[in-house]
Each structure stands twice: as structure tokens, then as C-alpha cells.
Amino acid sequence: MPEHRLVFVRSKDGRLPYSKGVMTQTLTAAGLTPERGHAIASMVERRLTDGGRSQEELTVRELHEYVEGVLREEAGDDAAHRFRRWTILKRKDIPIIMLIGGTAGSGKSTVAQQVATRLGITRVTSTDLIRQVMRAFFSPALMPVLHHSSFDVPVGGLALPGEAQHDLGLLGYLEQSRQVCVGANAILERSERERVSTLIEGVHLVPGLVEPVDVSRSAVIDTVVFIEDEQTHRAHFTMRGMQTDGSRPVDHYLRSFDRIRQIQEYLVEQADRRGVPVLENTYLDDTVRRLVDHTLDVVERVAAERDAASVSNTGGSVANGGSASPMPLGSEVHSSEAAHMLSMELGSGFELPGPDGRLAT
């Protein structure tokens, strides 16, 4: 039986063998399910190593063009176009900063894990972890609000009478959120400085509490996930208890279910007031798909705006290696013109989202 050839992929950073795992991740980011992405990546590997290409080395661009052709055969034009769109945007090297807020039991951690996997985001953390680290440095006597769950934080660190708890129930949660967001802001500041894609998820990500990130350097995605139906929301806690073998007791959450729903209502209200996209998360696959699509839209818009600035600053030369028509000194390229240039590179069928960043339903 003849040996399979080893096909190498050459990039600006060096020369490596074709990776089925890396290609699977790229295909899932472009919209395929992980199973379908793995199947296509395996098919590409077989075709390459069995002589589907005459060369034993390809550039990254050549590999992407080859995969696009396989996708068009196996999954249709839409899948091929989405793949082309994602690979072009990846070459723009725009870091993704993603914040996923949501109350306990909303499914935000599961959404975060799946979105991070699809988009290749490796720096992922939660505000619960940030809070736990802060607890190690600050005693209950010094910072009492850190040493409670988000839904049972007493105001001022003291237990309140029952009749007052209903009116002041959010104050302790908001104070804890302000303190935890100090740590979240430090992570985002470093990520922005190092230009590393980062995802933070957690109940403490109240829209407006996290300090703004420079949107001209990064694609910033801020969203809140929620569960509209109460019974479905309750069922999430039961499922969590089964999956963790009781390490996260269901009763602890269900006793405070009304407070958890109150926090969710507040998060959704704040998101609506600030134009932050809100995603109903009853159907996980749909939520993940919509969030990945929204992320691509934001990356595309940032790329267009950055290209516009590059053309303006260089008198017509696009920084990513392309070119634009010569421009008189002092003239300005608007973002709509840059969007048109980017759309030409991406191909027909894609329009940049509006400035409100709202998700289509």
C-alpha cells in the first residue's frame, strides 16, 4: 500500500504540516457543525495526501482556495462563501473581545465554551473565577460582598429584614459586580495591549459597568443571554446538578430563583437601554450560530473602518496588501467606501451591519 504524502502549509511564520484539527476549527467558525467540519477537514486531508494536489507545499491562501472548492462540492455555495468570508477576515488580524453576560442558569458558560471553540479564542475566563481570585486576597471582613453568591449578597455586608430585601435586593449584586469588574477590566486592558482575542462570561457583566475597549483596534462583542420561560430556566439548574454530581446543589439556586429572575430582568433591561444585543437561549445551537454570525459582522465592520483609516493615512494604499485608487492629498475615504472595498474582497452577498450592532432575528 503506497504511503500518503505529507503536505505542508507555508505561512509568514514558517512551514507546518496540514492540520486537520486547525482546519476543523476554521470550518466551524465559518458555520459548519463540529462534526461536519471534522468530516470536511478529513476529506481535504485525504485528497491532499492521496495526490489531490500536484505540489507537496501550499501557501495558506492556496489551501483556503482548495478547501473552498471542496466545500462548494460537498456543502454548497453558501458554506463555501461563508468560509471565504471568515478566512479573509482572519487575515485582517483583528482581535476579538467578547463579553457574555447572563444570570445563573441562563446557559452563558456553555454558550461561551462553544463560541470560543468555533472562533479559536483561547483566552477564556469567567467573572466567577475572577471573584474567587479576589476572595483569596480580601477577607470577608474587608470585602464582605465578594464572599456571597451573586443572588444572595446582603447590602452593606449585613442581613436585612425580609420586608426590605425585596426593594434592595439588587444593591448587593450591583456592588459585587462593580468590584468584580475591576478584575475584568484589568484582563481586558491587557488583552487590548497584547492584541489577544479574549472572552469573559459571567453574571457580573452588567452593561455599562465594564470600561470601554478601543473599538478601532478590536472587534468588541457585548451581549446578554437569557431564558424567557421560567420552567425552562428552572430545568437548567436540575440539569446542572446532574452534570456536576451534586457539587452545585440545585436547592441552593431554586431557593433564590425569584432573585435570580430579578437579576435577569435587570440585565436585559440594562442591555436594551444601552443597545447591547440580547439573545434568548432556549435553543443552544441557534444562540451559538447567531452569536458567531454577529461576531463576523462586527469583525467585518472593524476591518472596513480600519481599511478606511489606512487609505486615508497612506494616500490610497490599503495596509492589508491590496490597493485602492490614488487619492488627492487631503481627501477622505469614508467607512462606506471602505465597506465597499471589503465587500469586493469578500464577494457579493454580504452587507455590513448598521451602527447599532443589533442582531437579526
Residue 352 has pLDDT above 50, yes or no: no
> What is the band of 84 on the pLDDT scale with cuts at 50, 70, 90?
confident
Contacting residues for 93 by C-beta, under 8 A, at least 6 apart: 195
- pLDDT, tens digit, for every residue of 309-346? 777 666 654 444 443 333 333 333 344 444 454 455 55
- How does DSSP classify residue 353? P
Give pLDDT, residue 160: 44
Give pLDDT, residue 159: 46
Give pLDDT, residue 163: 41
Mean pLDDT of 239-248: 63
Specify if 1 maps to a domain. no
77 with 152, same domain: the answer is no
330 with 288, same domain: the answer is yes
60 with 33, same domain: the answer is yes
113 with 261, same domain: the answer is yes
Q: Tell which wins on pLDDT, 83 or 340.
A: 83
Residue 99 grid coordinates: 463579553
The answer to whether 196 and 213 are in contact (CB under 8 A) is: no
Say what the pTM is: 0.74
**Cell 481627501, residue located:** 331
135 with 250, same domain: the answer is yes
Specify if 248 maps to a domain. yes
- Could you give the percent of the chain with pLDDT greater than 90? 37
Domain boundary residue, one of 22, 57, 91: 91
- Could you give the percent of the chain with pLDDT greater than 70? 74
Give pLDDT, residue 162: 47
- pLDDT, tens digit, for every residue of 88-123? 878 888 899 999 999 999 999 999 999 998 888 989
Specify if 298 maps to a domain. yes
Specify if 277 maps to a domain. yes
118 with 254, same domain: the answer is yes
287 with 262, same domain: the answer is no
Number of domains present in the structure of the chain:
3
Specify if 2 maps to a domain. no
Give pLDDT, residue 147: 67
Domain boundary residue, one of 251, 282, 313: 282
HSE-CB of 24 using CA atoms within 13 angstroms: 13
Q: What is the largest CA-CA distance in the chain?
A: 80
Give pLDDT, residue 151: 66
Of 231, 236, 198, residue with least CA distance to 217: 198
Residue 175 has pLDDT above 70, yes or no: yes
Contacting residues for 235 by C-beta, under 8 A, at least 6 apart: none
Domain boundary residue, one of 91, 121, 153: 91
